[in-house]
């Protein structure tokens, strides 16, 4: 009996080791945090557009990024429903802080708004990259989606760089604070 138990334990460990299946808890965390992040991104750009106006030159550039974020959030809204994932309880907070971050950086000027984009998109781009590595072979479609979105986020990052983000006032501090804020938001949204 003891031996039998031992063998079955061995077998299950072996299966675990060779398993290419993404666990439900990992999948839930990935979908929850990405849904939260994309929602936050739409709110940041909305905050910036509210300050600059959508018909200004910079407003149009931001609108292009906002349109892609809209596609991203709609995709994760569908995934939340399909996979029965509980969205983060912090959505109302990201709703306000996202918009406030966008509006505040826009009020500091175009370069500061772009510095915000650079910081946020760098964190999200890296985060998508890490997730793509974690996902098992059973989640090929989601992996493809995440890698496609990562390319969009890196494009946003590059748009920010092209718009002189690094010459924003207090760029280093601004960038550090926003990066830290994003990482905290990610840690919270994964679990809560
Ligand atoms: Fe996005
Ligand atoms: Fe983005």
Residue from 32, 36, 30 nearest 141 by CA: 30
Is pLDDT of 15 > 80?
no
The number of domains in the chain is: 1
Q: How confident is the model at residue 30 (pLDDT cuts 50, 70, 90)?
A: very high
Domain annotation covers residue 14: no
CATH code: domain of residue 96: 1.20.1260
pLDDT digits (tens, 9 = 90+) for 82-135: 999 999 999 999 999 999 999 999 999 999 999 999 999 999 999 999 999 999
In the block, residue with structure tokens 């826009």: 106
pTM of the full structure? 0.84
Is pLDDT of 10 > 50?
no
Is pLDDT of 11 > 60?
no
**For residue 13, what pLDDT is reported?**
46
Domain annotation covers residue 11: no
Domain annotation covers residue 155: yes
Domain annotation covers residue 13: no
Is pLDDT of 162 > 60?
yes
**For residue 19, what pLDDT is reported?**
54
User: How many whole angstroms from 121 Cα to the centroid of ligand 2?
Assistant: 5
User: How many whole angstroms from 73 Cα to the centroid of ligand 1?
Assistant: 7
Q: Which residues, at least 6 apart from 37, have a Cβ–Cβ distance to it below 8 Å? A: 124, 127, 185, 186, 189
Q: Which ligand is nearest to the CA of 62?
A: 2
User: How many whole angstroms from 18 Cα to the centroid of ligand 2?
Assistant: 35
Domain annotation covers residue 39: yes
Domain annotation covers residue 10: no
Q: Which ligand is nearest to the CA of 119?
A: 2
Question: How many percent of the chain have pLDDT more than 90?
Answer: 83
* Residue 21, phi-psi category: left (phi > 0), alpha (psi -120 to 50), beta (remainder): beta
User: How many whole angstroms from 105 Cα to the centroid of ligand 2?
Assistant: 16
CB count within 10 Å of CB 65 equals 23
User: How many whole angstroms from 33 Cα to the centroid of ligand 1?
Assistant: 12
User: How many whole angstroms from 101 Cα to the centroid of ligand 2?
Assistant: 14
Domain annotation covers residue 16: no
Domain containing 101: what range? Answer: 25-191
**For residue 20, what pLDDT is reported?**
77
* H or E element in which residue 172 lies: helix 171-191
Stretch 139-147: mean pLDDT:
94
What gap in Å lies between CA 182 and CA 190, rounded to an integer? Answer: 12
């Amino acid at each position: 009996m003891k031996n039998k138990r031992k063998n079955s334990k061995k077998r299950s460990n072996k299966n675990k080791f060779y398993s290419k299946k993404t666990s439900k808890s990992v999948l839930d965390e990935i979908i929850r945090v990405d849904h939260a992040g994309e929602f936050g991104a739409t709110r940041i750009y909305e905050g910036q557009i509210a300050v600059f106006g959508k018909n200004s030159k910079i407003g149009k550039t931001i609108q292009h990024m906002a349109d892609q974020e809209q596609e991203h959030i709609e995709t994760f809204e569908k995934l939340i429903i399909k996979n029965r994932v509980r969205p983060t309880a912090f959505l109302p907070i990201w709703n306000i802080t996202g918009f406030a971050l966008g509006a505040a950086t826009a009020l500091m000027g175009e370069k500061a708004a772009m510095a915000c984009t650079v910081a946020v998109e760098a964190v999200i781009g890296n985060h998508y990259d890490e997730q793509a590595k974690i996902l098992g072979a059973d989640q090929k479609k989601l992996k493809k989606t995440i890698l496609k979105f990562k390319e969009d986020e890196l494009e946003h990052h590059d748009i920010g760089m092209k718009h002189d983000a690094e010459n924003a006032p207090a760029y280093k501090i601004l960038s550090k604070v926003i990066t830290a804020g994003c990482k905290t938001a990610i840690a919270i949204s994964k679990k809560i």
